[in-house]
Structure 1
Amino acid sequence: MLVKAGRTKIRYAGELLTDDGTRVAVRAPWAGSGVRDFGFVRFEPGDVFTEYYWRDRWYAVKEVRSATGALKGWYCDVTRPAARSGPELVVEDLDLDLWVSADGTDVRRLDEDEFADSGLAESDPGAARAALAALDELESLARGDGFTALLA
């Protein structure tokens, strides 16, 4: 379940792949309705997301593949650390995102305006600092080819 500003943003079923106590990996089909075209990537029915969540990191990384298995890239959400309660995994979205294309040539920071408008810097300055540091870390990993080690 993805929570934003205290409300459930989206809930969907996924297959638990691993949980080592720190990192949780799940596989789930595209949970949106229809096609979501961002301009630089399209999420569409049949796409499969392998999602990695950490209990000690402020982000989640979602590997996105087409229905044929072709890698589209990685969509990264800046979140509070994940919490798992029984079969449910809960993460709180903090608005910042990063997109990394399959070939690594397109690395984009997303939704920085939404983050600024969220008021998190005023309401929870520590979380805001952690969120910005997480986005910087993700971008550094993406530009330095660090996703392979992160997701191994």
Structure 2
Amino acid sequence: MSAGSAEVEIALVKGGRTKIRYPAVLLADDGVRLTVRAPWAAPGVRDFGFVRFEPGDVFTEHYWRDRWYAVKEVRAGDGTLKGWYCDVTRPAVVAADGASVVVEDLDLDLWVSGDGREVLRLDEDEFAASGLAASDPEAAGRAVRALDELAALGRDGLRGLLEGDVPPGLSAG
């Protein structure tokens, strides 16, 4: 598959169920990180209070096969950077043919505003209520470390991470 022309299906799974599934265009895949671009896939507007996701928004999404998170750069339809929405996940599972990516959401999230002034840890209450700490303590520990790593990297707007200047702090192994 060549970047820029191949369509990839992204599936976000939470609690064993597919939360959302949508098509994206493959931008790059180096065997460790897969980058895709997709329009806002949910119906209507989602207002979080600190940012609104709405039709016309474009997401450039980065998935790692060896890290416990995914990072989504969010731009308005006019190209204005809104910020980065980060999902704490298990490492991405990419199909052998590269046509699909499955990511398991572990409830923790982080928002980094486009101007870098806001780094917000999100959904820690959902994570605590999920029971992951009891059912899979190793995964829960990795999830918390991933959120901590993202929060630390968020201070520079995640640019170092997305430009490949940051070594992985959390591996799949």
Q: TM-score, normalised by structure 2?
A: 0.86
Instruction: After the TM superposition, list the runs of 4 or more consecutive aligned residues in structure 1 that deviate by more than 6 angstroms.
Output: none
* Residue 15 of structure 1: how far off its partner (Å): 0.2
* Cα deviations by residue, 1:16-41 (Å, 9 ceiling, x for unpaired): 00110000000000001000000000
Between the aligned partners of 2:25 and 2:157, the Cα distance in structure 1 is 25
In structure 2, which of residues 16, 30, 41 is the aligned counterpart of residue 20 of structure 1?
Answer: 30
Q: Tell me the secondary structure at the aligned position of residue 39 of structure 1.
A: coil
Between the aligned partners of 2:68 and 2:57, the Cα distance in structure 1 is 25
Q: 1:9 maps to what in 2?
A: 19
Q: Tell me the secondary structure at the aligned position of residue 31 of structure 2.
A: coil
Does residue 127 (structure 1) correspond to residue 160 (structure 2)? The answer is no
* Residue 138 of structure 1: how far off its partner (Å): 0.1
Root mean square deviation, CA, Å: 0.7
* Residue 146 of structure 1: how far off its partner (Å): 6.0
Does residue 103 (structure 1) correspond to residue 126 (structure 2)? The answer is no
Q: Which amino acid aligns with 1:148?
A: R
Q: Tell me the secondary structure at the aligned position of residue 56 of structure 1.
A: coil
Between the aligned partners of 2:14 and 2:157, the Cα distance in structure 1 is 28
Q: What percentage of aligned pairs have identical amino acids?
A: 73
Q: 1:118 maps to what in 2?
A: 130
Q: Which amino acid aligns with 2:88?
A: V
Q: 1:150 maps to what in 2?
A: 161
Q: Which amino acid aligns with 1:138?
A: L
* Residue 149 of structure 1: how far off its partner (Å): 1.6
* Cα deviations by residue, 1:26-64 (Å, 9 ceiling, x for unpaired): 000000100000000000000000000000000000000
Between the aligned partners of 1:96 and 1:149, the Cα distance in structure 2 is 21
Extract unaligned runs of 5+ from structure 2.
1-10, 164-173
Q: Tell me the secondary structure at the aligned position of residue 12 of structure 1.
A: strand
Q: 2:8 maps to what in 1?
A: none
Between the aligned partners of 1:116 and 1:23, the Cα distance in structure 2 is 28
Q: 1:89 maps to what in 2?
A: 101
The number of residue pairs the alignment matches comes to 151
1:42-53 alignment, distance < 5 Å: 42-53=52-63
* Residue 147 of structure 1: how far off its partner (Å): 1.3
Please tell me whether the aligned partners of residues 114 and 157 of structure 2 are also in contact (alpha carbons under 8 angstroms): no
Extract unaligned runs of 5+ from structure 1.
none
Q: Which amino acid aligns with 1:95?
A: D
